[in-house]
Amino acid sequence: MRWWLTGLIGLIGAVGLAIWAAPRLTGKLAPIKVGLLHSRTGPMKISEESMIDAEVLALEEINEAGGLLGGRQVEWVKADGRSDWPTFAREAERLIEDEKVSAIFGCWTSASRKAVKPIVEKAHHLLFYPMAYEGLEESPNIVYIGAAPNQQVIPSVKWAYDRIKARRYFLAGSDYVWPHAVNAIARDYITALGAEVVGEEYILYGTNDVDALVGAIKEAHPDVVISTVVGDTNAPFYRKLAEAGVGPKVVPVVSFSIAEDELRHLPLREMVGDYAAWNYFQSLDTEENRQFVRKFRARYGSDRVTSDVIVAAYNSVKFWAQAVEEAQTDEIASVIKTVRRQTMSAPEGIIAVARRSMHTWRPVYIGQIRTDGQFDVVWASSKTVRPLPFPASRPRAAWEAFLEGLHQQWGGWSNPGTGAVGAGSTPARPKPEPPPVPAKTEAAKKA
């Protein structure tokens, strides 16, 4: 009897060894699958297509280096969010349930991220979000690679106050959650500095009718425009500003959505001299950045440019790959634990994932648009900046109430007229009353 049991155990062991060894001997280890969820059609195509290119470049580099976990290649599935928030949610669900992806890299707008967030949380899945955003959010299932508000919004307001002596600010945005939240953060800080918001208006996402917005800017006589206008609406927006005589020499714009890639499709001549705030510009003079630009152009053409979101999308894949290797598995719960410990030398500088908030430490830059479609860096943070997703101007509960008020008002995360081409501008809507903003202080001026 004993010999029979011993033989059976040996047979089971031999079969198990054969199953384990066969794919390694034939080079056919099971691939790892990931999802790339971006707008490949619609108004956001102008910005999101290049993010896909960056993610694919990073994935190809991983495969060329031998893959992950001892030789497993990485496959990817491209999903089109179609610039439509419900579609993003449905496609995220499909990637998780049908495609069985190990991670999702995706979204640009906060409305699309807000739509995907409950999907990945319910499934205990993982989203890498590569866009600068308004903050006011944390999730155990999202790694926020782009800027938090203290890494883009607040430095820009302070820079405009100090460098161009702005005292009159106009807040212009597309009509969904990101611009409203960004402008609330900016308004708090502008007030704390003792400056003034002389106008705040929104235009429906996807519209080409910007006349009312431009007219309001001209009438308000601001010193600077803080812009959260997104997508291809920026083409008529900047063109009409120039036609109205309020171009960059008169009223400069500081944009949080325009970068090198968008400038390829926009009226550059009318925009030279305007500004943008990001955590990366192609013109950064570092060896890591020069290597990245060369790689991107070698893959996609010498006429292509890089930008902050392109680099953030690339970094997202690299962070995930590092976390997979450290965990020695692509199992999601394990990767979520190890991704919190990742750091790398990136094209923009040393960056790292913050252990608690899952946001990313990054440097901050403000650039001025040049005639060649690149940016001159006119200001840089002295060091990599810790991400603070909830600005201190209001308690966290107040920020969450502010967002919930927008959500209830719209029945979603954007004005219900989203996508209505030809719709005009809308004034700022009443929002839940925030706690009073502290009066101007010396600390605010020195921040």
DSSP string, 322-361: HHHHHHTS--HHHHHHHHTT-EEEETTEEEEE-TTT-BEE
Query: At residue 421, does pLDDT exceed 60?
Result: no
What is the pTM assigned to this prediction?
0.86
Q: How much of the chain, in percent, has pLDDT values that exceed 90?
A: 85
Can you give the pLDDT at residue 424? 41
Q: How far, in Å, are 48, 135, 174, 303, 325 from residue 107 at the CA level?
A: 8, 15, 17, 25, 25
Q: Are residues 295 and 339 in the same domain?
A: yes
338 and 402 share one domain: no
d(CA 13, CA 7): 10
Q: What is the pLDDT of residue 319?
A: 98
Residue 28: the pLDDT is 76
Do both 210 and 266 map to the same domain?
Answer: yes
pLDDT at 205 over 70: yes
- Do 386 and 272 have their domain in common? yes
161-193: b or e for each residue (b if 16 or more CB lie within 10 Å)?
Answer: beeeebbbbbbbbbbbbbbbbbbbbbbbbbbbb
Whole-angstrom distance, CA of residue 409 vs CA of residue 232: 26
Which pLDDT score is estimated for 46? 84
**Judgement on whether residues 432 and 316 belong to the same structural domain of the protein:** no
List the structure tokens of 417: 């007229």
Which ranges of 328-383 does DSSP label H, i.e. alpha helix?
Answer: 332-339
Distance from C-alpha of 337 to C-alpha of 321, rounded to nearest angstrom: 13
**252 and 317 housed in the same domain:** no
Q: Does the residue 193 lie in any domain?
A: yes
Label residue 437 by pLDDT band (50, 70, 90): very low
pLDDT of residue 409: 94
Residue 432 pLDDT > 70? no
Helix (H, G, I), strand (E, B) or coil at 247: coil
The residue among 338, 362, 386 that closes a domain is: 362
Q: So what's the pLDDT on residue 206?
A: 86
Assess whether 181 and 273 both reside in one domain.
Answer: yes
Q: Give the range among 2-11, 280-289, 435-444 with minimum mean pLDDT.
A: 435-444
Report the range of poorest mean pLDDT among 7-16, 136-145, 326-335, 348-357: 7-16
Q: How does pLDDT run across 80-115, given as a tens digit for each residue?
A: 999 999 999 999 999 999 999 999 999 999 999 999
Tell me if 21 is assigned to some domain: no
**What is the reported pLDDT for 158?**
98
Structure token pair of residue 332: 């999601």
Element (H, E) at 216: helix 211-220
Domain end marker among 322, 345, 362: 362
For position 27, what pLDDT does the model report?
53
pLDDT digits (tens, 9 = 90+) for 316-362: 999 999 999 999 999 999 999 999 999 999 999 999 999 999 999 99
Q: Is the pLDDT of residue 32 over 70?
A: yes
Whether 205 and 175 have beta carbons less than 8 Å apart is answered as yes
Structural element, H or E, at residue 417:
none
**Would you say residue 176 has pLDDT above 60?**
yes
Q: What is the average pLDDT across 302-307?
A: 96
Bridge partners, 104 (sequence order):
35, 127
CATH number of the CATH domain containing 53:
3.40.50.2300
- Determine the pLDDT at residue 332: 98
Task: Tell me: do 212 and 276 sit in the same domain.
Answer: yes
How many of the other CB atoms lie within 10 Å of CB of 372?
12
Q: What is the mean pLDDT of residues 113-138?
A: 97
349's CB contacts (< 8 A; 6+ apart) are 286, 362, 363, 384
- Residue 384: band (very low, low, confident or very high) from pLDDT cuts 50, 70, 90: very high
Inside any domain, residue 22: no
90 lies in some domain:
yes
Average pLDDT of every residue of the chain: 90
Instruction: Region of 78 please: left (phi>0), alpha (psi -120 to 50) or beta.
Output: beta
Q: What is the pLDDT of residue 8?
A: 44
Query: Do the bridges between strand 375-380 and strand 365-369 make them parallel or antiparallel, or are there none, so unpaired?
Result: antiparallel
Same domain, residue pair 346 and 276: no
| Banded model confidence at residue 23, pLDDT cuts 50, 70, 90 | very low
The mean pLDDT value for 401-415 works out to: 95
Tell me: pLDDT of 422 over 50: no
Q: Which domain holds residue 174?
A: 150-284+366-446
pLDDT greater at residue 15 or residue 288:
288
Whole-number pLDDT of residue 438: 40
Domain membership flag for residue 178: yes
Q: Which of 16-25, 344-353, 373-382 has the lowest mean pLDDT?
A: 16-25
Give a yes or no: residue 12 inside a domain.
Answer: no
First and final CA of the chain: distance in angstroms?
Answer: 81
Please say whether the beta carbons of 234 and 258 come within 8 A: yes
| Whether 239 and 322 share a structural domain | no
Q: Is the pLDDT of residue 3 over 80?
A: no
Residue 298 CA to residue 152 CA, distance in Å, equals 30
- Kindly state whether residue 319 falls inside one of the protein's structural domains: yes
- 323 and 442 in a single domain? The answer is no
Pick the more confident residue, 202 or 23: 202
Tell me, what's the pLDDT at 119? 98
Q: Are residues 158 and 273 in the same domain?
A: yes
For residue 199, the one-letter residue type is: G
Q: Side chain identity at 245, as an amino acid letter?
A: G
Residue 281 vs residue 205, higher pLDDT? 281
**Residue pLDDT, tens place only, 152-173:** 999 999 999 999 999 999 999 9
CB 221 within 8 Å of CB 194: no
Q: Which helix (H) or strand (E) holds 119?
A: helix 110-122
Give mean pLDDT, residues 215-242: 96
Look at residue 368 in the predicted model and tell me its pLDDT: 98
Q: For the chain, what is the domain count?
A: 2
Give the strands of the sheet with 360-361, arranged side by side: 343-346, 349-353, 360-361
Residue 204 lies in a domain: yes
> Looking at residues 222-233, what average pLDDT do you find?
95
